[in-house]
Every structure is written in structure tokens, then in C-alpha cells.
């Protein structure tokens, strides 16, 4: 499966955060560099002689991405805790996971969440990530600056009212810090909310369908349709990597439909 917990490695970074075990796979750093290299190049080009160089910009991007995804997974983990389930956090090349590991309630299975509970646990991750971006945006706008991260986003988000109004941030370091944090915290969080399995949006769709009396297969068919549409849009927009991801999600969702039965 594309999105699953990676194998442990002696090169993984481990620490505790708010009582949650956190493991950062070495592949997270590699993925951050691969996904951020062209972005760092663009900022380096725009800053011209004021740029600190691609290397320092990549380091800053990686730090921002690390914090953004960690906050996302912390949202999931805190929601799990709210329902008596302890979890661990894993960051890796495709993002992150909050993995249930134990129940605080004796005799309770860690997999037994109601659709309503699962809906909240799933939504809490992108919500935490977007709220953290909103805090950064509010601070930037309070001081009269524009949020240039939106200039790099697709047309619908690029035209978000007020984001590109104001003075430009004149410090390259601060500009990069704000841009590198807001960009993934908004765009990636919203992409993650698309009704595509196994993204958060796909899990949310499944919970809503089950709450309304539908079946898991219905949510998977929604995922097939949404994944196909998003893949087509990505390829048409020249985003080949994103297109490949959504194409794989469409194939995975269709395979799951075959495994679960058409309407079960």
C-alpha cells in the first residue's frame, strides 16, 4: 500500500512530544529535499544576489515542512487521545501517520471508533495544520505584509482575497520562512482533504457515507471518480508527479472496491 508506516531504521530520529512517541524516518528528509528543491530554486532565483543560496533555503524548507506535518499528525494524535486511544507519530517520505498503539480503556479494541469519532480524528489533522497557517498569516497581515505563498498556489487559492495585498517582506529569510510554512500548511492540507482514499479526505468521506447509512464501497467509488478527475486535471496542468499520485490512488481505490464487494 502506498501510504503505510515505513520500516524502522537505526537512522530514524526519535523523541517524545506531549507524551506521544515520535519517529522521523530518514526518508522524510530525503522526500523533503526532493519535493522542495524546485521551490527553493525558484525563491533563490527571485531573491537574486540577496539569496542565501539553495542549500540554506532547502534547510529552511525542510524545517518548515517538518513542523507543519508534525502539527498535522499531532492533531490526529490528540483526537485519538480524546477517545481514550494512545498513538504514536511517524513522519516519512509521503508525509506522516498517527498510528494507534493502545487503548486507555481496559478491554477496548483500539480499532473500535464510531464513524462520528473517526470523522473527528481524521479531520483534526488538517484542521490543526490549517489553523497553524492561519496564525502565521494573521501575524503577517497584522504587520501589513502580503502572504506571497499564495502566489505559488493554483488559481483558486491564488486569488484568495487580501493575501497578496500589502507590502512585500523585505527580508529574504523571513520571506522564505513564511512562504515555506504557509504553502504546505494550506495547499497540502487542502489536497489531503480531497475525497480520495487513503487521504484524510477519503476517510472523512467514508465516515460521512457510513453515518448516512451507506457503505464503504460507495466511498471508494467516490474516491475512484475524484482521483481520476484530479489526475486528469494535474496532467493537463503540467503537474505530472501529482497526476501520477492521484492515478495510483484511483487504481488503489478500484482494487479495494473489488476486494470489499461492489456495494458492501
What does the pLDDT read at residue 263? Answer: 42
- The pTM (predicted TM-score) of the whole model is 0.88
Per DSSP, 6 falls in state: P
Q: Is the pLDDT of residue 147 over 60?
A: yes
For the chain, state the CA radius of gyration: 19
Q: What is the pLDDT of residue 94?
A: 78
Q: State how far the Cα of 37 lies from the Cα of 19, in Å rounded to an integer.
A: 33
Bond before 176 cis per omega within 30 degrees: no
Give the residues across from 17 on adjacent strands.
20
DSSP states along 211-231: HTT--HHHHHHHHHHHHHHHH
Four-residue CA torsion sign, 196, 198, 204, 207: positive
Of 207, 183, 203, which Cα lies nearest the Cα of 193?
Answer: 203
Highest mean pLDDT: which of 87-96, 125-134, 204-213? 125-134
Place of cell 467509488: 221
Using DSSP, state whether 100 is helix, strand or coil. Answer: strand
- How far apart are alpha carbons 250 and 227 in whole angstroms? 5
Q: Find, among 35, 56, 54, 36, the residue nearest to 44 by Cα.
A: 54
pLDDT of 1 > 50? The answer is: no
Looking at residue 254, its pLDDT comes to 86
Report yes or no: 42 and 172 within 8 Å, Cβ to Cβ.
no
Amino acid at each position: 500500500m502506498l501510504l503505510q508506516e515505513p520500516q524502522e531504521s537505526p537512522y530514524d530520529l526519535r523523541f517524545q512530544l506531549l507524551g506521544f512517541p515520535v519517529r522521523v524516518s530518514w526518508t522524510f528528509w530525503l522526500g523533503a529535499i526532493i519535493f522542495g528543491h524546485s521551490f527553493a530554486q525558484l525563491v533563490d532565483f527571485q531573491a537574486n544576489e540577496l539569496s542565501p543560496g539553495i542549500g540554506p533555503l532547502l534547510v529552511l524548507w525542510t524545517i518548515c515542512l517538518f513542523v507543519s506535518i508534525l502539527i498535522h499528525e499531532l492533531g490526529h494524535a490528540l483526537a485519538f487521545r480524546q477517545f481514550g486511544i494512545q498513538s504514536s507519530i511517524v513522519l516519512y517520505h509521503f508525509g506522516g501517520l498517527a498510528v494507534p498503539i493502545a487503548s486507555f480503556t481496559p478491554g477496548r479494541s483500539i480499532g473500535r471508533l464510531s464513524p462520528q469519532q473517526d470523522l473527528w480524528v481524521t479531520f483534526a489533522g488538517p484542521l490543526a495544520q490549517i489553523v497553524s497557517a492561519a496564525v502565521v498569516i494573521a501575524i503577517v497581515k497584522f504587520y501589513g505584509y502580503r502572504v506571497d505563498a499564495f502566489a505559488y498556489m493554483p488559481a483558486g487559492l491564488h486569488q484568495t482575497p487580501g493575501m497578496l495585498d500589502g507590502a512585500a517582506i523585505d527580508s529574504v529569510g523571513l520571506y522564505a520562512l513564511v512562504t515555506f510554512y504557509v504553502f504546505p500548511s494550506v495547499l497540502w492540507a487542502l489536497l489531503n482533504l480531497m475525497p480520495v482514499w487513503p487521504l484524510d479526505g477519503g476517510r472523512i468521506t467514508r465516515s460521512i457515507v457510513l453515518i448516512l447509512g451507506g457503505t464503504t464501497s460507495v466511498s471508494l467509488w467516490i474516491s475512484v471518480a475524484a482521483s481520476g478527475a484530479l489526475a486528469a486535471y494535474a496532467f493537463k496542468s503540467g503537474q505530472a508527479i501529482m497526476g501520477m499520485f492521484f492515478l495510483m490512488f484511483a487504481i488503489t481505490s478500484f482494487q479495494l472496491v473489488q476486494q470489499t464487494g461492489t456495494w458492501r
